[in-house]
């Protein structure tokens, strides 16, 4: 089958991109090399705007914890940055968050293939 777009990776960005492509009336195939969504530890801490960007209402099933600040370190741990004040964010239940995005992408018409790599 031919697709108008192939999206490599079923992370938040890939799923939102495929959803947008499908909503515009184009066919989209998402290729994900992992067996399940959300198996890699990454991007569990998000700002409160993440749900607005994802167009998914925040719900207790998607949120493990609410945070009001954070300490951020670069990979070499050379300098710590403190985020506080009016900041509000969440620790996600990442697999459920990704499944919610995948469901929306599929409902819009995208196809998702797990255990597939784009090369």
Residue 76 has pLDDT above 70, yes or no: yes
**Domains of the chain: which residue ranges?**
5-114
How far are the Cα atoms of 5, 13, 39, 88, 100 from residue 43, in angstroms, in the given order? 25, 11, 11, 15, 15
Tell me the CATH number for domain 5-114.
3.50.50.60
Whole-prediction pTM value? Answer: 0.83
- The per-residue pLDDT for 119 is 66
- The per-residue pLDDT for 110 is 97
What does the alpha-carbon distance between residue 77 and residue 117 come to, in Å, rounded to a whole number?
32
- The per-residue pLDDT for 99 is 96
pLDDT in tens, 38-52: 887 776 888 888 899
Residue 7 has pLDDT above 90, yes or no: yes
The chain-wide mean pLDDT, for the chain, equals 91
């Amino acid at each position: 089958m031919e697709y108008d777009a192939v999206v490599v990776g079923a992370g938040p960005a890939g799923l939102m991109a495929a959803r947008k492509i499908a909503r515009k009336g184009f066919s989209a195939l998402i290729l994900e090399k992992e067996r399940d969504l959300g198996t890699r530890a990454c991007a569990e801490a998000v700002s409160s705007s993440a749900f607005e960007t994802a167009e998914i209402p925040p719900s207790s099933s998607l949120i493990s914890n609410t945070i009001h600040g954070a300490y951020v370190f670069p990979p070499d741990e050379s300098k710590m940055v403190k985020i506080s004040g009016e900041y509000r964010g969440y620790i996600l239940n990442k697999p459920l968050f990704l499944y919610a995005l995948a469901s929306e992408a599929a409902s819009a018409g995208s196809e998702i293939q797990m255990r597939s790599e784009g090369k």
